[in-house]
Chain A
Amino acid sequence: MNAEKVVFAFFIVLALTLNFGFYIGDIDNPDHHNVYELFFAIIISMIATIMKFGDRTHIGAVLLATSLVADLQLIIAAFIWGAATHVLDSGMTPAIMASIVSLTGGALLANFTSVVLLIVETALMRH
Chain B
Amino acid sequence: MYHVLFLLFRRLRRPITVIIIVYGISILGLTLIPGQDNFGNPWQMDFFHAFYFVSFMGSTIGFGEIPYPFTPEQRLWVIFTIYATVISWLYSIGTIFKLFQDANFNRLVKRTRFNYRVGRLHQSFYIVCGFGATGSRIVRQLNSHGIKTVVLDASRQLIDQLESEELSLSVPYLCDDASHPDVLELAGINSNLCIGVLALTANDHTNLTIAIASKLANPNRVVISRTQCQETTDNLASFGTDYIIDPFKIFASNLLLTIQEPYKQILHNMIINPRHNVWMSPHQNMKGLWVICGYGRLGKALHKLFQEHEIEMTFIEIDPVGTEAPGGTIVGTGTQAKTLLKAGLKNAVGIIAGTPDDADNLSIIITARQIKPDLITVARQNDTFNKPVFRAAELNVLVESGRIISNEIYILLRTPLLNEFFKLLAQESEDWTRALIVSINKKIEYSEVDAWTLTISKYESLAVYDAIDEGISIKIGHLISDPRNRKTPLPAVPLLLKRDNNFQLLPNDDTKLRHNDQILFCGEESAQTYMRWASNNHNVMRFIRNGRGEPDGWLWRWLTEKKRARQNKLIE
Contacts and interface: CB of A to CB of B under 8 A. Distances in A.
Contacts of B561: none
A53 to B, nearest CB: 4
B47 A47 contact: no
A100 B31 CA distance: 20
Interface string B20-48: 11001001100100000000000000111
B13 A50 contact: yes
B27 A39 contact: yes
A70 to B, nearest CB: 15
B17 A51 contact: yes
Contacts of B21: 43, 47
A47 B16 CA distance: 8
A46 interface: yes
Given A39-B27, A85-B48, A50 B10 contact: no
A91 interface: no
B9 A53 contact: yes
A40 B23 CA distance: 12
Given A46-B20, A47-B17, A85-B46, A39 B10 contact: no
Interface residues of A, number: 17
B314 to A, nearest CB: 67
A32 interface: no
Contacts of B13: 50-51, 53-54
Interface in A34-52: 35-36, 39-40, 43, 46-47, 50-51
Nearest to A79: B48
Contacts of A126: none
A35 B47 contact: yes
Nearest to A84: B48
Given A39-B27, A39-B28, A54-B6, A78 B20 contact: no
B44 to A, nearest CB: 11
Interface in A55-113: 56, 78, 81-82, 85-86
A40 B27 CA distance: 11
A37 to B, nearest CB: 12
Nearest to A78: B47
B50 to A, nearest CB: 9
- Give chain B's interface residue range (CB within 8 Å of chain A): 10 to 19
A54 B10 contact: yes
B17 A50 contact: yes
A71 to B, nearest CB: 11
A78 B28 CA distance: 14
A47 to B, nearest CB: 6
Given A53-B13, A54-B10, A47 B20 contact: yes
B108 to A, nearest CB: 13
Contacts of A43: 20-21, 24
Most chain A CB within a 10 A radius of its CB, from B9, B16, B27, B47: B47
A116 B123 CA distance: 48
A50 B12 CA distance: 9
A54 B24 CA distance: 23
A85 B31 CA distance: 15
A54 B21 CA distance: 20
Contacts of A47: 17, 20-21
A78 B31 CA distance: 15
B340 to A, nearest CB: 69
A98 to B, nearest CB: 19
Contacts of A46: 20
Contact of B48 (A36, A40, A51, A82): A82
A67 to B, nearest CB: 13
A47 B21 CA distance: 8
B47 A82 contact: yes
A43 B7 CA distance: 24
A27 to B, nearest CB: 21
A50 B16 CA distance: 7
Contacts of B51: 82
Contacts of A39: 24, 27-28, 31, 47
Contacts of B48: 82, 85-86
Contacts of B6: 53-54, 56
A39 B20 CA distance: 12
Contacts of A78: 47
A78 B51 CA distance: 11
Nearest to A86: B48
Contact of B9 (A35, A54, A81, A82): A54
Given A78-B47, A85-B46, A86-B48, A53 B24 contact: no
Contacts of A54: 6-7, 9-10, 13
5 contacts: A35-B46, A39-B28, A51-B13, A53-B13, A86-B48
Interface of B: 6-7, 9-10, 12-13, 16-17, 20-21, 24, 27-28, 31, 46-48, 51
* Across the A-B interface, the 10 shortest Cβ-Cβ residue pairs: A54-B10, A82-B48, A43-B24, A53-B9, A50-B16, A50-B17, A46-B20, A50-B13, A54-B9, A53-B13
Interface of A: 35-36, 39-40, 43, 46-47, 50-51, 53-54, 56, 78, 81-82, 85-86
Given A39-B28, A86-B46, 20 more contacts: A35-B47, A39-B24, A43-B21, A43-B24, A46-B20, A47-B20, A47-B21, A53-B6, A53-B10, A53-B12, A54-B6, A54-B7, A54-B9, A54-B10, A54-B13, A81-B47, A82-B46, A82-B51, A85-B48, A86-B48
